Structure 1
Amino acid sequence: MKNLRVLDLTSCVDLLVTPKFSGCKNLAILILERCSQLVEVDHSIGDLKCLISLNLKFCTELSMLPVEMGHLTALKELLMDGTKVEEIPISIGQFKQLEGPIATLPDSVGELIRLNHLSVRDCHRIRKLPNSIGNIGISLVELDVSGTGVSKFPNSIKYLQKLKVLRMDSCFFKEFPPDIGELTSLEEIHASWCRSLEGGIPSEIGKLHNLRILRLRHSTISSIPMEIHQLSNLQTLDLLHCDMIKELPRLPSSIRELHVDDELKSSEIWILDNLRLQRLSTSKLPAMIKLSNLQTRRLLHCNTIKEVPKLPSGMMDLRVGDELKSSKIWNLHDLRLELLSTFIIQEEIQLSDPDLVDYFAAP
């Protein structure tokens, strides 16, 4: 069995102790999922230097892992959902990705100097991250603490200079990370369903010039800073059901996807000159929308919009879905269209410009 690469013992319900692994040192994938009576993993597992993935999901009686697991230098994936394991060995030093109901992360996480993705998603018992996490700032690209009990990041998070993706959905954070501006490589922030958040996003977010996605859906964040206009690469802003936010500052022209509630209808939030929206989640664009320089509007995927105000005369490209058929929404005085993807003409449409009338009259 020395050449065995995959061992799948899924649903071996009578298995109490794993077999010894000394004879299959080339094993890369070990699956013990749903071995519901398993109570012990043999210590020889430490001999599996080629093991990449260990699946212990739903081994409901398993409560401890052997310390020898720290010798699994090639391990990239450890799946422990549905087990009783609450603590991983302090010798974790070489693990690449962690998922499962772990209660504590040891300080030795800081020794993972080659770690690029750390996920403790849905590990509900985890309450905090070790301060040593800052030691892996030279390599960590993605950090996912979604669905955990974490309520505050350690001060050392500011040292994660390579971090591109931060996922903190459904957590108990009481404030947005105050040092967020130090994470200048960030491209995505996911903080939806954070119902304990108080206050606004710190102005330092304006330093995140690489940020492309900011999702805060269903969070209790109360305000967005004016500095958001400095995020020249921001493409997606999701604020649906952020009920504490009453108004927005000027938004960057780079935004392509905007999700807001109908309540955010203040004229101040619609300063969208030169914006090329592709997706907009709201049912109505306010009549005072400021789009004087907008030449292209794409509403192809904005399925919730039922009304559109008077459009700017400089618009050259109008693309809408068939749902926008009401004659009352189309006020197209002096509008010149060179390219029309979809347009439903109604009897009462206002087409005062002669060139526009000729355009629609042409065969």
Structure 2
Amino acid sequence: VCLCEGLGNMTLFDKAQALKFPKLVEINFDHCSDLEELPGSICSLTSLERLSVTNCHLIQKLPDDLGRLRSLRLLRLSACPSLSMLPPSICRLQQLKFLDISLCMSLKDLPMEFDQLPKLKMLDMNECSGLKMLPKALAKLRSLKRVICDEHTEQQWLAIKASAMPNLTVDVVQERFNLDWLDD
């Protein structure tokens, strides 16, 4: 679903429709300008491996039962600036390897049980300026190999790396857009 209009809360996507796609492995919602939340019925798609919700500026929440997506390996929630929280059930995504929450400026915290993601290898949390403190449980993510962050959480990640995860790569993204050249 790309550049979609008129989806609102997607009430038309009910559980019966979700059951029509039992082998669906990927869904992309990109630039859905009026999408405020994903329907809970999407959690019935247990074969789903990749869920991408990007540039959906009004989306405020994810389904509480997101953890039912037991096959999910990739969850991309990039550029959803109104997304204020991740449901605690996200920590039940046992197959999750890649999580992208970059440009989700309204996220205030991560679920405390983040250490229950045994296969998470990469976390992109660049420009999550609302995140002030990282949960201590992140230091228990033994499978985590790479974190992409910015200066807001850089020191916390470097402390985690130094104390518990010496093989972790912490990539700090510097300022994305430098318009100083306009002054010349």
Question: Which of the five TM-score ranges fits, normalised by the shorter chain?
Answer: 0.7 to 0.9
* CA distance in structure 2 between the partners assigned to 1:229 and 1:153 by the alignment: 25
Unaligned ranges ≥5, structure 1: 1-97, 261-280, 283-363
Amino acid at match of 1:258: V
Which among 135, 139, 142 is matched to residue 232 of structure 1?
142
Q: Distance in 1 between matches of 2:83 and 2:125?
A: 13
**251, 254, 269: which is aligned to 2:167?**
254
CA distance in 2, matches of 1:109, 1:151: 23
Deviation at 1:181, TM superposition (A): 0.9
* 1:187 partner letter: K
| Structure 2 counterparts to residues 52-91 of structure 1, below 5 A | none
Distance 1:190 1:258 in 2: 15
d(CA) in 2 for partners of 1:109 and 1:167? Answer: 23
Distance, in Å, in 2 between the alignment partners of 1:131 and 1:144 is 15
**Residues 1-363 of structure 1 aligned to structure 2 (within 5 Å):** 98-104=1-7, 105=10, 106-107=13-14, 108-111=16-19, 112-137=21-46, 139-148=47-56, 149-171=58-80, 172-198=82-108, 200-219=109-128, 220-242=130-152, 247-248=156-157, 249-251=159-161, 252-255=165-168, 257-260=169-172
Q: Distance in 1 between matches of 2:105 and 2:53?
A: 15
Aligned residues: 161
Which amino acid is the alignment partner of residue 143 of structure 1? L
How large is the RMSD of aligned CA atoms in angstroms?
2.0
- Cα offset, 1:216, TM superposition: 0.7
Tell me the alpha carbon deviations over residues 109-146 of structure 1, each in whole angstroms, 9 at most, x when there is no partner.
42221110000111112111111111112x10011111
TM-score (norm 1): 0.42
Q: Partner of 2:170: helix, strand, or coil?
A: strand
Q: Percent identity?
A: 22
Give the superposition deviation at 1:103. Answer: 3.0
Q: Which has the higher contact order (CA 8 A, sep 6+)?
A: 2
Give yes or no for contact 2:96–2:117 (8 Å, CA) kept in 1. yes
C-alpha distance in 1 between matches for 2:3 and 2:123: 26
Higher-helix-fraction structure: 2
Quote the offset at 1:188 in angstroms. 0.5
Inter-partner Cα distance in structure 1 for 2:87 and 2:151: 21
Give the residue type in structure 2 aligned to 1:100.
L
- Distance in 2, matches of 1:109 and 1:187, equals 27
Q: Secondary structure at the match of 1:158?
A: helix
- TM norm structure 2: 0.79
Separation of aligned partners in 1, 2:111 and 2:50: 21
Q: Contact 2:63/2:87 (CA < 8 Å) preserved in 1?
A: no
Whether the aligned pair in 1 keeps the contact of 2:127 and 2:149 (CA below 8 Å) is: yes
String of CA shifts for 1:280-331, please: whole Å, max 9, x gaps. x68xxxxxxxxxxxxxxxxxxxxxxxxxxxxxxxxxxxxxxxxxxxxxxxxx
Q: CA–CA distance in 2 between the matches of 1:147 and 1:120?
A: 8
Q: 1:116 to 1:151 in 2, by over 3 A?
A: same
Could you tell me whether the CA contact under 8 Å between 1:179 and 1:204 is conserved in 2?
A: no
8 Å CA contact retained: 1:166, 1:186: yes
Secondary structure at the aligned position of 1:250 is classed as helix
Q: Give the secondary-structure state (helix, strand or coil) at the position aligned to 1:203.
A: coil
Kept in 2, the 8 Å contact 1:223–1:246? The answer is no
What runs of 5+ residues in structure 2 fail to find an aligned partner?
Answer: 175-184
Deviation at 1:247, TM superposition (A): 3.2
- Distance in 1 (CA, whole Å) between partners of 2:39 and 2:79 is 20
Query: How far has the Cα of 1:246 moved from its partner?
Result: 6.2
Q: Which has the larger radius of gyration?
A: 1
